[in-house]
Amino acid sequence: MENLHFSTLIHHQAQKYGDKVALKQKYNGLWMPISWNEFSDQVKRNAEALAYFGVKEQDTIGLFSTNKPECFYVDFGAYSNRAITVPFYATSSPAQLCPIIHETQLKIMFVGNQEQYDVLYSVIDQCPTIERIIVLDAEAVLHLSDGISMHYTNFIQLGHAHLYQRTITHRASSAQPDDIANILYTSGTTGLSKGVILTHQNYMEQLKNMQQVLPDLSDRDISINFLPLSHVFERTWCYLCFMTGIEVCINEHPTEIQETLKEIRPTIMCAIPRFWEKIYSGVLDKMAASSRTKRALLQHALTIGRLYNIDYWSANRQPPRWLQLFYSFYRRRVFSILKRRIGLDRGRMFPTGGAAISDEVSIFVHAVGLNLIIGYGLTESSAVVSCTLKRDYLVGSVGKVVPGVELKIGSNKEILIRGKSVTQGYYKNQSATVAAIDSEGWFHTGDAGYLKEGHLFLTERLKDLFKTSNGKYIAPQALETKLGIDPYIDQIAVIGDQRKFVSALIVPSFTSLEVYASTEKIAYNSMEELLANDAVQLLYTNRLQQLLTDFAAFEKIKRFKLLRVPFAIETGELTNTLKLKRRVIEEKYKNEIEEMYKEEPIF
């Protein structure tokens, strides 16, 4: 299987699995199955329709949509033509779309819903290469002046007559491993996005690596497509599912994931740390609202769970009899109930990546008996570089390097990687390619870390490091990861470059804060008034002190500002992968930041 080109993968699986369910999508409140045969047929018709519109080998095709089955049809239809797909985040703004469309010379653009169609059409005059827009949502209303768009239902009919079947067959038979599959644009936290070139060989090597690392994956598993398909982690994971014959249930809207989890009850699913942080915070909130007896019971259960699953099981040690008995009791009476309420009671493994996960959250997930696989990777590595395993897990690590990837620690403790799953460079950006890949083929990740007993530990993002005016280096992500799990903190941006001390802009968890105000009988007429309340300010001061006890004095946050409006993609403070755009935040909140440094440190 590992030698297959994506041009034939779905058809090969259809021959093997036939009417077995390949995909599910929610339509009018019901989950509708799509068989492997239907999947294959849709890919064939898509491929022929693309050929009808003149798509040739290594032409580029844009995909600007939320998660939908059609996204996979477009992907694999393009691969059948040896064409390249360029996925966009569904939340992309016109300013993000235009440069990429121009650079990749997109002629055909698939858009998902009314929202994506309207965004693209609003700048269509600035995108002269676009010749055709295909709208996936049949209910989207096209503009009266629009002469280049059509609905997907009409588009797919063009591939029904099999007029281009011979062309597609010839292209698939001549497909090469070094064909470009995707150009994935990075989220651009420190500047303009760069188009990462990923070939079919990059993906195939990554999938081969992951099949060795996760041999227990089975065609009996059920996964949820939750993260956007423009994210390399989700894209590679779904391809791994297809290669293994796993059923993939498509969660179109991220806000519906809690409902989807309870309806699907997946056995596997990839997610980002924020997903697990939300679950952890929810459990903490329920603990806080419980009686003292229930709080003590759950705390003891988590202590036993950590001992059993981390100190013994993960360390390949035999748990003593008393621990087995305690854990068996809590697994049935506490953990199984908790997992069932969330929808994870059938869960076998849950890879997480895309950002740092705090030790507290990781320990909690392992303690309740969920097999959390913590990974490290980049778009440039086709996702995974290293990952943890249940029987070989060290708290704080991102696991061992996967087979097929070489890793070494360079100067400034930078992590360098090399292998067939690593990109050949950036699209039409030779200067960035030369800066990232040295003469020996090592890709410079920009992440710092170290190896200990074969396990990789991350320390900081080198480009995010800043230095205070006292000459002390600060890793803001370490602070943000530690503080981000607090139930009273929703978002946090650490400030301090060339400043005399470290400060922070904090977006509170408004729900938790309102509960606190009610409990403490704090009267207020507006959220602004509540944030300025002395008792609330003291609450956050105390929490910062408690959470940062393990940090050096110069690393601790000395002043903070509570913000009324959250950071958002739409307002420019977050990338599409929810990473902070520090320059934007510091410019937007320049006045608030200056005010913090006019005052003396609070501790």
pLDDT digit string, tens, across residues 570-581: 888 988 878 898
CA distance 268 to 265: 9
The reported pLDDT for the residue numbered 1 is 44
Q: Do 6 and 200 touch, CB atoms closer than 8 A? A: yes
Are the CB atoms for 93 and 571 separated by under 8 Å?
no
Is there a single domain that holds both residue 452 and residue 473?
Answer: no
Any idea what the CATH number is for the domain that residue 498 is in?
3.30.300.30
Q: Which of 264, 291, 324 is the last residue of a domain?
A: 264
pLDDT value for 192: 67
- How far apart (Å, rounded) are the C-alpha atoms in residues 481 and 477? 6
Q: Can you tell me the distance from the alpha carbon of 452 to that of 59, in angstroms, rounded to the nearest whole number?
A: 45
Is 213 contained in some domain? no
Question: Burial of 494 by CB count in 10 Å (0-12 exposed, 13-18 middle, 19+ buried)?
Answer: buried
- Strand pairing of 466-467 and 405-409? unpaired
DSSP 8-class letter at 435: H
Same domain, 488 and 440: no
Q: Is 533 exposed, middle or buried (0-12, 13-18, 19+ CB in 10 A)?
A: middle
Could you tell me where the beta strands, DSSP code E, fall in 471-514?
473-474, 489-495, 502-508
Q: For residues 406 and 18, give the distance between their C-alpha atoms in angstroms, rounded to a whole number.
A: 38
pLDDT, mean of residues 80-95: 94
Residue 597 predicted with pLDDT over 70: yes
Residue 334 lies in a domain: yes
pLDDT at 131 over 80: yes
Q: Are residues 80 and 225 in the same domain?
A: yes
The count of structural domains within the chain is 3
Judge contact between 596 and 503, C-beta under 8 A. Answer: yes
Residues with Cβ < 8 Å from 587, sequence gap 6 or more? Answer: none
Burial of 148 (0-12, 13-18, 19+ CB in 10 A): middle
Q: Which residues of 366-401 are buried (b: 16+ CB within 10 A; e: fewer)?
A: bbbbbbbbbbbbbbbbbbbbbbbebeebbeebbbbb
In a domain, 158, yes or no: yes
Q: How far is CA 407 from the centre of its chain?
A: 23
Residue 316 domain-assigned? yes
Question: What number is the average pLDDT over the span 181-196?
Answer: 81
Alpha helices in 245-334 (DSSP H): 257-264, 273-289, 292-306, 321-330
Residue percentage of the chain with pLDDT more than 90: 80
pLDDT score of 319: 95
Q: Are residues 249 and 395 in the same domain?
A: no
* Rounded Cα distance, 355 and 227, in Å: 13
Hey, what are 226's tokens?
A: 């939750």
In angstroms, the Cα distances linking 82 to 76, 174, 175, 496 are: 9, 9, 6, 48
Q: Could you tell me whether strands 414-419 and 84-88 are parallel, antiparallel, or unpaired per DSSP bridges?
A: unpaired
Backbone angles phi, psi at 490, to 5 degrees: -95, -45
209, part of any domain: no
**Residue 2: per-residue pLDDT:** 43
Cα 352 from Cα 234, distance rounded (Å): 10
Whether residue 281 sits in one domain with residue 231: no
What Rg value do the Cα atoms of the chain yield, rounded? 25
Is residue 212 within 8 Å of 558, Cβ to Cβ? no
Q: Is residue 235 part of a domain?
A: yes
Quick one: which H or E segment has residue 365? helix 359-367
Instruction: For 477-492, write each residue's pLDDT tens digit.
Output: 889 988 988 999 999 9
Same domain as 548, residue 432: no
pLDDT > 60? residue 294: yes
Task: Reply yes or no on whether the pLDDT at 3 is more than 60.
Answer: no
Beta-strand pair 84-88/108-111: unpaired
Within a domain: residue 14?
yes
Residues 360 and 442 in one domain: yes
Can you say whether residue 291 is alpha, beta or left, with left for phi > 0 and alpha for psi between -120 and 50 degrees? beta
Pairing of the two strands 247-250 and 180-185: unpaired
**380 vs 47: CA distance, rounded Å:** 27
Residues 258 and 317 in one domain: no
Distance CA 187, CA 576 (A): 6
Segments forming the whole domain that contains residue 323 = 273-462
By percentage, how much of the chain surpasses pLDDT 70?
98
Q: Report residue 26: phi and psi, to 5°.
A: -90, 125
End-of-domain residue from the set 429, 462, 495: 462
Which pLDDT score, from 0 to 100, does residue 422 have? 98
Q: Are residues 170 and 108 in the same domain?
A: yes
| Phi-psi category of residue 483: left, alpha or beta, with phi > 0 → left and psi -120 to 50 → alpha | alpha
Structure tokens at 431: 């200067």
In tens, the pLDDT along 6-57 reads: 999 999 999 999 999 999 999 999 999 999 999 999 999 999 999 999 999 9
The per-residue pLDDT for range 407-461, each reduced to its tens digit, is: 999 998 999 999 999 999 999 999 999 999 999 999 999 999 999 999 999 998 8
Task: Mark which of 429, 444, 462 sits at the end of a domain.
Answer: 462
Mean pLDDT of 185-201: 82
Q: Roughly what angle, to the nearest 10 degrees, separates helices 165-173 and 6-17?
A: 110
Shared domain check, 575 and 449: no
Which tokens hold the place of 186? 């990075």
If you average pLDDT over residues 333-347, what whole number do you get?
Answer: 96
Residues 144 and 19 in one domain: yes
Pair (81, 13) in one structural domain: yes
Asked whether residue 180 is assigned to any structural domain, the reply reads no
**8 Å CB contact between 133 and 106:** no
Looking at residue 291, which CATH number applies to its domain?
3.40.50.12780
> Collapsing DSSP states into helix, strand and coil, what is residue 495?
strand
pLDDT band at 189 (very low <50, low <70, confident <90, very high): low
